[in-house]
Chain A
Amino acid sequence: RKEVEQDPGPFNVPEGATVAFNCTYSNSASQSFFWYRQDCRKEPKLLMSVYSSGNEDGRFTAQLNRASQYISLLIRDSKLSDSATYLCVVSAGTYKYIFGTGTRLKVLA
């Protein structure tokens, strides 16, 4: 079993739709959780950290479920510019960041 698993997609959604991705992790000792965004042939960029109580940044909401060992990302009112690959990243300690393979999102006009 992979340490961090994501549905590769693609998720094809119309503009304005709400879409959600999940990411499961296997190490119950994981401490920090993040969502990164990666555009085609570009470097990953931090979208948001994920906190235990859940957190929101504009149209983006991230949640953590420690009991079931998954994190989620919800995107409301999808824009064409949201089309990208979303990487789930889990840390079990300093220096040890485990990247998921990413979920590809395509927002259609």
Chain B
Amino acid sequence: NAGVTQTPKFRVLKTGQSMTLLCAQDMNHEYMYWYRQDPGMGLRLIHYSVGEGTTAKGEVPDGYNVSRLKKQNFLLGLESAAPSQTSVYFCASQDTINEKLFFGSGTQLSVL
């Protein structure tokens, strides 16, 4: 009964370092999303995917890349981290019947 699993939960990076956030869902959902949440702002869409092998840009895609090689996994990459990418990142998958979004538990990322 895992739902959406997101790793890691916390990470501290130095400016210029790279990392990958992993999102895995076991609900056979086609649609998956990556959001970031910053104080005083709503969740903002970074990238999304409507199925295996497809990805698309969201509202704030700069500095991020994604891949969806397998239906259950959606990876978010930061090639060269910047302090402006300090945020809480949430992955979500979607039940397209009722539009319900299922979120992972989040990743707190700090870039120094």
Contact = CB atoms under 8 A, between A and B. Distances in A.
A43 B45 contact: no
Contact of B99 (A32, A41, A87, A98): A32
A45 B3 CA distance: 12
B99 A43 contact: no
Given A44-B43, A87-B42, A101-B41, A95 B31 contact: yes
A8 B40 CA distance: 9
Interface in A54-87: 87
Interface residues of A, number: 21
Contact of B42 (A32, A42, A91, A99): A99
Contacts of A87: 42-43
A32 B106 CA distance: 25
A98 B33 CA distance: 13
Interface residues of B, number: 21
Given A32-B99, A98-B42, A100-B42, A43 B90 contact: yes
Contact of A49 (B45, B99, B103): B99
Interface of A: 4, 32, 34, 36, 41-46, 49, 87, 91, 95-102
Complex A-B, nearest 10 residue pairs according to Cβ-Cβ distance, in ascending order: A99-B42, A43-B103, A99-B43, A101-B42, A46-B100, A43-B105, A100-B42, A95-B48, A44-B103, A43-B106
Given A45-B103, A91-B99, 14 more contacts: A32-B99, A42-B105, A43-B105, A43-B106, A46-B100, A46-B101, A49-B98, A49-B100, A87-B43, A95-B45, A98-B42, A99-B44, A101-B40, A101-B42
